[in-house]
Chain A
Amino acid sequence: MIDPMIFRQANLPDLGQISSCISISTLECGKSGNISISGTLTNLNAEEALINQNKIDEWIREVEERPGSAALIIQYIANRLSELASREEELAAQNIDLLNGRKVEEYESRIANLEYQLELLKRQLGGEVNLPTEMPAIKPPIETINLLVYNPLGLVMRGEMNQVEIASGQTIGRISDWESLGDMRPNVLITTSQEELLLLFDSGRTVTLPVSQLPLLSVESLDWQQASVHEPTVKEELAAIHPIAKMSLYETCIQVSRRGFVKKFKTSFLATHITEKYIGTGVKLPADKTCGLTFANKNDLFVMVSQEGYIFSMQADRLPVAIEEVIHLGITDHIVSAFITGNKPSLLLITQNGKAVHREVSWLEPASSFKTKGQALLSKERREAGTRLIGAAAVDEADWGVILHSDGTLTTYNLRELLAAGSVPAGNQNASILCFSGFHMPEIKG
């Protein structure tokens, strides 16, 4: 029988606050059934005690009336003490961090991140942000649509497009000196002049810069010789360029590799990585390379499209945190596009021979597991005939696109027309399509 008087030995303080004022020295349960709880009380304000003598007396009365309750009471108190002991451990560890300055470093790092985000916002607004006082009416700088063409050698060209003059099917420019770079396949990105860019190298290194810092060239004749050079280090290639000014609006950043490996991490971590100029290679296989980033919120549908027409989709929340192969690609295949559908209703997938395949987002069958083969877009016959996807995007009918042909010409298209026609109108019959970038036309201000 457990003696109810054992409770009188322990004048327990508020268990909710015990960790800061009591060190539990022993909790023994002998073979005889005698239990003793002893503690060292320090600095305890009796008024603060949630467990006071009255309560202990009440527990004793319960035990006197129903002796069967004693074992339960002891069990509950023991569980609580054990829980508080582990919390004590956590608090002690935090205290050590505080004392040796590690916490300070952590907060300094966070402050640096926040300052970086603030810097981005300032650039977006085109001036100083005066917080917390009332914001003066800053005249926003004129935002223009910018065309970026870049290649794995780190050459980046920027041209400005006149929003008013953009027309569907119009050749807006040509890249001269096209042949000199051999098979260094270029890429196209449409963005705005107020954006912040993240240059991602396949070594995991990153460089950030505002769009406006890139030298402005004439779109009509872009020349690699005049390109801004962000020279890769040895054995390194520029994998992708991403606009990041709006990254703080998203919870997650997803890094994608050419062989269908994916990892996700919090956008706040990306800010840390950016300050360290390194986000990791994002690959597991030696022959693999990172090919891009995308931002998502947890309920967004993430989509990856491979060159041979296999599509993987999954809710961003379910993607792996560690690098994992989420789509199992054939040996000759690789990822060409990764994006989220957002609130766009349609998918536009462009083939190298000018086919514009339109699918509703609802057509996608989100994968329930990793390493799946993916949803096939192209028939076996068309794949064997050499049809390959060169790009894809989630779009709506108000969106526009730019296509880079293999002869170096750049053409703009209204996607409404492209979706309706089902193919890219043939200009030069001999030129195949190299890459495609969709964009939303900003509203003309002023």
Chain B
Amino acid sequence: MGLHVGIDFGTSNSGVGIFHNNQVHVLPIDSKNIVPEVVKTILYITSDYKHFIGQEAVELYYKQNINRQRRFVKKWTGEIDYHGADMHYVRDVYVYVDELQPGRLMQFIKTALRSEKYVGTQVFDRFYSLSDIISTYLHALKQRAEGLLHEEISGVTLGRPVKFSQVPELDQKAQATLHQAALEAGFKQVDFELEPVAAALYYELSLSKPQIVLIFDFGGGTLDLTILRLGDPHLREVYASGGIGIAGSDFDRAIIQKRMLTHFGKGIVQHDPEILNLIHTIPDWAALPELSTPRARAELERAIQAKQAPVRLKALESMIFNDLAFSFYNMIESTKINLSDTGVTIARMKEKDLDIWELYTRKQFENDIQEHREQIQNVLMDTVYASGMEPDQIDAVVKTGGSSNIPTFTEMLNTIFGADKVKSSDVFNSVTAGLAIKAQQNS
């Protein structure tokens, strides 16, 4: 019989915890990370199918990819049957493949669970289903945890958002995929707990008397809300749960859409549709690396030669063909995080042919995410009313997750519930810690 751990498989970050000797231990799972108890949910698969996660994946990606050479070869991928009224013919399909590509980087893996269409991706010559991708990541996490604990891990309690999707069938499918991936990763016993409930279990350790608590779990991919009674394990009761698929990555996308596209030529001149299509792909982290094709390069070169915002398009070309997209998204995320501490910051990136300087204020950021803020406030109020309570009946509001530090949301909670009730839990580890407690109960 092996150990039973709790794993918070997050959109941006993950963590592993274990309850041992009446104490929660969040494992230092990524020794290379600034906070070793947090590992980035990033997977890098090299061309020889070696897998790397977390900071190690990031460092290897940078080492192997930035400003690397490319060599495109035309590769046969299949054929298409054309059936007309009186004719039928078969046509070969080719794609251009960069044969010098050293690896594939994958991030926001969890977001794919929300998607109806995403089934997986081709990594060099192998097809990785979504379940394969997640199991590869979980397997690496399991191995690292076993290395730290010097014991086999057989069971896991995985966190899950209140709703992967508003559509019940998709929600069930997402959990089934996650369950299957955990089994493939080598866990013999797999169970689930709602992430906000897990955060509540951790918060409960600090309570001396029962309270009605709203857990505001706001991470990279989703906002999860749960109102429950805590403080007495025998009288725990969930009054209401709610959530919405809006979180940190959506705010990053809003910043890019509203502030960054001009740096790549949008609005400077009337571009051709092909070029506009390239520019509008920038906010899509999954699609941007796919743009590095000879055709896209030819389109960009043609527009640059025609002096259609050449400096800006050169910047776009540099980002696509020098593999700077990952650095760009990281820069956007850092800009957003900086605005939690200060009223103004600089979105800055200077690489070959790419020079972004954007003075960005908190006020601008709040305007850019205003629509999301309103949706979040509506979901919050709906959840409170679904619990049958008024805001003043809630004893405490516990914030957890990276996005819960964004000042506008703290202000929102302060206004609705009162500043004295809003408490901040361990932003990155409270869900992991709660899952470790739940794992102990389930083992």
In the assembled complex, the Cα of A80 lies from the Cα of B262 at a distance in Å of 18
Q: What is the predominant secondary structure among interface residues of chain A facing chain B?
A: helix
- The one of A47, A55, A61 that contacts B267, using a Cβ cutoff of 8 Å: A47
Within the complex, what minimum Cβ distance (angstroms) separates A109 from chain B? 24
Known: A62-B363, A65-B363. A50 touches B343 (CB 8 A): no
Question: Does A69 contact B269, Cβ atoms closer than 8 Å?
Answer: no
Question: Does A62 contact B364, Cβ atoms closer than 8 Å?
Answer: yes
Residues of B within 8 A of A47 (CB): 267-269
In the assembled complex, the Cα of A47 lies from the Cα of B356 at a distance in Å of 18
In chain B, positions 333-379 with a C-beta closer than 8 Å to chain A are 342-344, 346, 355-359, 361-364, 367
In the assembled complex, the Cα of A62 lies from the Cα of B366 at a distance in Å of 11
Question: Does A59 contact B361, Cβ atoms closer than 8 Å?
Answer: yes
* Segment of A70-78, A145-153, A214-222, A392-400 in the binding face: A70-78
Asked whether B311 is an interface residue with its Cβ less than 8 Å from the other chain, the reply is yes
Residues of B within 8 A of A15 (CB): 357
Known: A58-B364, A58-B367. A76 touches B344 (CB 8 A): yes
Residues of A within 8 A of B363 (CB): 58, 61-62, 65-66
Range of interface residues on chain A? Answer: 20 to 34
Known: A47-B267, A47-B269. A76 touches B362 (CB 8 A): no
Residues of B within 8 A of A76 (CB): 344, 346, 359
Question: Does A69 contact B344, Cβ atoms closer than 8 Å?
Answer: yes
Within the complex, what minimum Cβ distance (angstroms) separates A19 from chain B? 11
In chain A, positions 17-54 with a C-beta closer than 8 Å to chain B are 17, 47-48, 50
Residue picked from B267, B346, B361, most chain A C-beta under 10 Å: B361
Asked whether A141 is an interface residue with its Cβ less than 8 Å from the other chain, the reply is no
Question: Does B269 contact A16, Cβ atoms closer than 8 Å?
Answer: no
- The one of A16, A55, A59, A65 that contacts B311, using a Cβ cutoff of 8 Å: A16
Asked whether B263 is an interface residue with its Cβ less than 8 Å from the other chain, the reply is yes
Please give me the residue from chain B that is nearest to A20 by CB atom: B311
Residues of A within 8 A of B269 (CB): 47
Asked whether A68 is an interface residue with its Cβ less than 8 Å from the other chain, the reply is yes
Residues of A within 8 A of B362 (CB): 62, 66, 69
- The one of B342, B346, B355, B359 that contacts A16, using a Cβ cutoff of 8 Å: B355
Question: Does B361 contact A16, Cβ atoms closer than 8 Å?
Answer: no
Within the complex, what minimum Cβ distance (angstroms) separates B339 from chain A? 10
Within the complex, what minimum Cβ distance (angstroms) separates A400 from chain B? 34
In the assembled complex, the Cα of A18 lies from the Cα of B357 at a distance in Å of 12
Question: Does B263 contact A69, Cβ atoms closer than 8 Å?
Answer: no
In chain B, positions 20-44 with a C-beta closer than 8 Å to chain A are none
Residues of A within 8 A of B342 (CB): 69, 72
In chain A, positions 69-100 with a C-beta closer than 8 Å to chain B are 69, 72-73, 76-77, 80
13 contacts across the A-B interface (CB closer than 8 A): A16-B355, A16-B357, A48-B268, A58-B363, A58-B364, A58-B367, A65-B363, A69-B342, A69-B361, A72-B344, A73-B344, A76-B344, A80-B357
A-B contacts besides A16-B355, A65-B343, A69-B342, 5 pairs, CB < 8 Å: A61-B363, A66-B362, A66-B363, A69-B362, A72-B343
Q: 4 closest Cβ contacts across the A-B interface?
A: A69-B343, A62-B361, A62-B363, A66-B343
